[in-house]
Amino acid sequence: MEENKIYNHPDNSVYVKTNGDEIHIICKREDQMDEVVQRLSTDKCHLSGYEEWDEGEDKKWILKFLVSDEESDYIVTPEYN
């Protein structure tokens, strides 16, 4: 993947955007999230955030992944409300 690029086409199942060491995925359906997390989670790519947008038929799920060259670079601190 190229840095700071949006991978979005009308026929894509999910919206993908890179931003430095982050990958943002927007899922149209809740059932897509498990597959996205399973495919992207590796020793060097970890789920670091989750957010729900909108309600009803327009609802979307945003997943944020962090990518690193080293396993030890990961220190994910949860954000509390």
- Under 8 Å between Cβ of 60 and 26: yes
Give tens-digit pLDDT for 49-64: 999 998 888 899 999 9
Just give the CATH number of 6-73: 3.30.1360
pLDDT for 71 equals 60
Domain ranges of the chain: 6-73
Computed on alpha carbons and rounded to an integer, the radius of gyration of the chain in Å comes to 13
Extract the residue ranges of the chain whose pLDDT is less than 70: 1-6, 10, 71-81
Q: 81, exposed or middle or buried, with CB in 10 Å at 0-12, 13-18, 19+?
A: exposed
CB 1 within 8 A of CB 24: no
Type and span of the H or E element at 39? helix 32-40
Element containing residue 53 per DSSP (H, E): strand 45-53
The model carries a pTM of: 0.74
Quick one: pLDDT at residue 38?
93
